[in-house]
Amino acid sequence: AQKITQTQPGMFVQEKEAVTLDCTYDTSDPSYGLFWYKQPSSGEMIFLIYQGSYDQQNATEGRYSLNFQKARKSANLVISASQLGDSAMYFCAMREGVWNDYKLSFGAGTTVTVRA
């Protein structure tokens, strides 16, 4: 079964507007971590933001925020005030059982194109 589901293959957003990227996950482990990465066309995977399963507050990092809804098993990424440089592929990833499972499981990704 897919552990990470990203249902939006591609999205267009106007410069300076906000965009929300959907991510749902599947795990029965109470301890897990959720990550978002940005991958420009150059290929490097850039870490954006992290949310732990026990974190009480939603994570924020500059223009990035994570809308964590534990009961719904969703971890949507919100990018505020979009910039042309935000055009890239975005991946949601999960690490389960943080004490004995070290791998990241990735979704299929969402392509974001920012229009001027």
Partner 1 sequence: DAGVTQSPTHLIKTRGQQVTLRCSPKSGHDTVSWYQQALGQGPQFIFQYYEEEERQRGNFPDRFSGHQFPNYSSELNVNALLLGDSALYLCASSLVGHNSETQYFGPGTRLLVL
Q: Which residues bind partner 1 (CB under 8 A)?
A: 4, 33, 35, 37, 42-47, 50, 52, 91, 93, 95, 98, 101-109
Nearer to partner 1, 93 or 112 (CB): 93
Query: What's the closest the beta carbon of residue 86 comes to partner 1, in angstroms?
Result: 18
DSSP-assigned states of every residue in 30-96 = S-EEEEEEEE-TT---EEEEEEETT-SS--EETTEEEEEETTTTEEEEEE-S--GGG-EEEEEEEEE
Nearer to partner 1, 52 or 67 (CB): 52
Nearer to partner 1, 18 or 46 (CB): 46
Query: What's the closest the beta carbon of residue 67 comes to partner 1, in angstroms?
Result: 19
Location of structure tokens 């440089």: 85
Query: What's the closest the beta carbon of residue 95 comes to partner 1, in angstroms?
Result: 8
Cα 68 to Cα 82: distance, rounded to the nearest angstrom: 21
Q: How far is C-alpha 103 from the geometric centre of its chain's CA atoms? A: 16
